[in-house]
Amino acid sequence: MRLGYLYSRYPVISQTFCDAEMLALERLGIELEIGSIYPPLTSLRHEHISCLRAPIHYAPPQEILKISEKNAKMAGKWPRGLVDRHEQKYGPSVKAEQRARNALYFADLFARNGVDHFHVHFANRAAHTAIFLKEISGIPFSVTAHGQDFMKDLGNDDLLREICAAAEFVAAETDYSHELLCQRCPDSAAKIHRVYNGIDLERFPAPLSSKSGTTPRIISVGRLVAFKGFEDLIDACAELARRGLDFTCEIIGDGPLRSGLQGRIATLNLSDRVHLLGSLSQGAVLERLRTADVFALASMTDAQGASDVFPTVIIEAMAAAQPVVSTRLAGIPEAVVHGETGLLVAPDDAMALAQAVGQLIQDPELRLRYGRAGRARLEQHFQIERTVGPLIELLQKRSDVSAKSNQQRTSHSEVATGIAYLIDRWPDKDLPLLEREIEEMKRRNLAIAPIVCEFDAAARLTRKMEQIAPQLEFLPDAMVIEAEWRANPTLAQKLEEERAQEEQRAPGGIFLRQARFALALRKPLLEKKVSHVHATSSRALVCGLILQKIANVSVSATIEPRPELPQNWIVSALRKCKGGRLSDRRLFRDPSSSFLFDKAALRFGPRKTVGLLGQKIGIDLSHLGVAQSFWQDWAELLPQWRQ
């Protein structure tokens, strides 16, 4: 089976259950394709994300998707009837046209990569997009519904019923959410199944048998939003301090309420006891969980009706053998057994919360007993190997893994290009022939992958650019690129040190920008089996030479008439290239090199120079004034440089 995952936004640091599920499926031999409609809002990544084998595909900029929409309408592939019906039935707030635009991209991606079935976490925007994706491609889908997604975020029970009706099956996160879904979608009740989220215990160190130090430490984790109940936790800490109990409290997470919570801590004179630590990596969170004494989460329902349903961090605390204090809300009692693995109190009751936490602070033996029981309960019910089993059974029953799908995967592998065109930014007024060049390569059946590192959203697209746009691939936004850079600090430092040792160095700002592009490109190039990179400008050549080191590709380059990089650096860089095209005759310093005099410069260069150059490199260039002949020569020369 080749399984797709479609997210509104991925990764999200609070949704570690998604990571655990996909990693477990990969360990079981299921191939994944991961799609994210929008980029993440932060560059912080948990360490385990790097273990995913599947690449993450992001939708291109909306400007490009609108071109695809226009082309789909002309080709009769636009789901006009479904879009019109949703706009009329649900109104403009559901953004039916935008959902369909996003679906076009992922329908093509999943079909091209042989996806048999795709799964969506959260019954909201991505699940709505899934309806259009299925309409366009015919690929079936399923949904995991959590709670807040369909209770509040989606905002329309009629649309929820349509999502459930279109899905092959719906996995409900808890018994609580299963019951709610069945009540709201009675016609789909037979295909709604409870499937718990699980965690991978391999990522959790063995629990400590005893804690060092004398001051009990309370820990809580979550986004700093109202329904997490951090105000109640801070008030409970104030009550514990009033009773004279010794403790500290650490709150991990960030969000819109941070400044207000910090002010509340100061007002209650708790600054030396209660600390807001901000967002931390998963490794840092797990280590703090492991060494804490009590985990507390005061979940509640906020003024808009939003609430926790089954907080993953409670399961993680149980994995760390922590006694849990939380509230009797939604699916929390399905994880925490009152009086056995922790204590549960009513939501919005800071005094009761203080009483429960205080009881555990004063009784180390009770903490140890609850912690061990929580770990045992987790091992029995919430290990990822157990929770992913029902999901796999549902997928195998509902999805049609056909021979046709296998043929699609084979054909996708066969069309691996081997050559990537590296485009620093697009559109680029300094590269007026780029669109023509891509068109000419396609006309000559030379399979290239044109990859744009940065899209200039402010530029006006010409008709020629709009024609080429669907052939381009775009790196995701700066947050994704920065995350890749931060996730590889050792390699990043090595690249910087190697630059420092070079006699001719690229300017620091250009180098750092291109090095980030290179790290973001490394995995996609391996996926496409790219063995040669052609840099379409001097800036892109900086990236290309870094990829030469970290991705084992050969490199060629086109140097534009007015390059941004210093000439000394360009001369040095060209020695590392297999060949390319140059528009400045002063750069032809090696008689044995495989560089062509660029067509863009022919209008300025005398034919005598062209003839002499042709003699040097053994290619007849006398006919290059004819554009078609030039592009034919280039199309024949470029494949020769592949590794």
In whole numbers, what is the pLDDT of the chain averaged over residues?
89
Residues 501/536, Cβ–Cβ less than 8 Å = no
Same domain, yes or no, for 484 and 624? Answer: yes
- What is the tens place of the pLDDT at every residue in 337-347? 999 999 999 99
Q: Is the pLDDT of residue 406 over 70?
A: no
Residues 414/382, Cβ–Cβ less than 8 Å = no
- Please give the order of strands across the beta sheet that includes 579-582: 473-474, 449-455, 419-426, 532-535, 554-559, 579-582, 595-597
Same domain, yes or no, for 619 and 519? Answer: yes
The pLDDT score that the predictor gives to residue 411 is: 40
For residue 168, the 8-state DSSP code is S
Same domain, yes or no, for 232 and 362? Answer: yes
Q: Which of 79-93, 397-411, 612-626 has the highest mean pLDDT?
A: 79-93
Locate all alpha helices (DSSP H) within 34-172, ordered by sequence.
Answer: 62-75, 80-90, 96-112, 125-137, 148, 157-166
The pLDDT score that the predictor gives to residue 210 is: 61
Same domain, yes or no, for 83 and 164? Answer: yes
Residues 179/210, Cβ–Cβ less than 8 Å = no
Band of residue 418 on the pLDDT scale cut at 50, 70, 90: confident
The pLDDT score that the predictor gives to residue 587 is: 73
Q: Is the pLDDT of residue 252 over 50?
A: yes
Same domain, yes or no, for 436 and 583? Answer: yes
Take residue 178 and report the two structure tokens written for it: 């299963």
Same domain, yes or no, for 444 and 402? Answer: no
Same domain, yes or no, for 393 and 365? Answer: no
- What is the tens place of the pLDDT at every residue in 291-340? 899 999 999 999 888 888 999 999 999 999 999 999 999 999 999 999 99
- What is the tens place of the pLDDT at every residue in 587-596? 766 655 688 8
Same domain, yes or no, for 317 and 405? Answer: no
Max distance between CA atoms of the chain, in angstroms, equals 95
Enclosing domain of residue 598: 416-641
Same domain, yes or no, for 257 and 391? Answer: no
Band of residue 82 on the pLDDT scale cut at 50, 70, 90: very high
What is the C-alpha radius of gyration for the chain, rounded to an integer number of angstroms?
29
The pLDDT score that the predictor gives to residue 50 is: 85
Distances in whole angstroms, Cα of residue 66 to Cα of each of 62, 70, 101, 424, 470: 6, 6, 7, 22, 10
Band of residue 409 on the pLDDT scale cut at 50, 70, 90: very low
Q: Is the pLDDT of residue 473 over 60?
A: yes
- What is the tens place of the pLDDT at every residue in 35-66? 999 999 988 887 888 889 998 999 999 999 99
- What is the tens place of the pLDDT at every residue in 117-171? 999 999 999 999 999 999 999 999 999 999 888 878 888 899 999 999 999 999 9
Same domain, yes or no, for 222 and 343? Answer: yes
Average pLDDT rounded to a whole number, residues 409-424: 66
Residues 537/556, Cβ–Cβ less than 8 Å = no
Give residues with Cβ within 8 angstroms of 484, minimum separation 6: 516, 519, 520
Same domain, yes or no, for 401 and 426? Answer: no
Band of residue 67 on the pLDDT scale cut at 50, 70, 90: very high
Give this prediction's pTM: 0.85
The pLDDT score that the predictor gives to residue 401 is: 41
Whichever domain contains 212, its CATH number is: 3.40.50.2000
The pLDDT score that the predictor gives to residue 583 is: 83
What backbone phi and psi angles, to 5 degrees, belong to 13? -65, -20
Average pLDDT rounded to a whole number, residues 186-196: 96
Q: Is the pLDDT of residue 622 over 80?
A: no
Take residue 612 and report the two structure tokens written for it: 């002499």
The pLDDT score that the predictor gives to residue 213 is: 64
Locate all alpha helices (DSSP H) within 292-363, ordered by sequence.
Answer: 312-319, 332-335, 350-361
Same domain, yes or no, for 177 and 99? Answer: yes
Q: Is the pLDDT of residue 607 over 50?
A: no
Band of residue 627 on the pLDDT scale cut at 50, 70, 90: low
C-alpha to C-alpha distance for 250 and 229, rounded to whole angstroms: 14
The pLDDT score that the predictor gives to residue 416 is: 52
DSSP per-residue string spanning 444-496: TT---EEEEEEE-TTSPPPHHHHHHGGG-EE---HHHHHHHHHT-HHHHHHHH
The total number of structural domains that make up the chain: 3
- What is the tens place of the pLDDT at every residue in 207-219? 666 665 679 999 9
The SS3 assignment for 141 reads: strand
Nearest C-alpha neighbor of 556 from the set 507, 585, 598: 598
Take residue 147 and report the two structure tokens written for it: 């709670």
C-alpha to C-alpha distance for 192 and 182, rounded to whole angstroms: 7
- Of 11-20, 349-358, 479-488, 610-619, the one with minimum mean pLDDT is 610-619
201-212: b (≥16 Cβ within 10 Å) or e: bebbeebeeeee
The pLDDT score that the predictor gives to residue 593 is: 62
Surface-to-core class of residue 603, CB atoms within 10 Å of its CB (0-12 exposed, 13-18 middle, 19+ buried): exposed
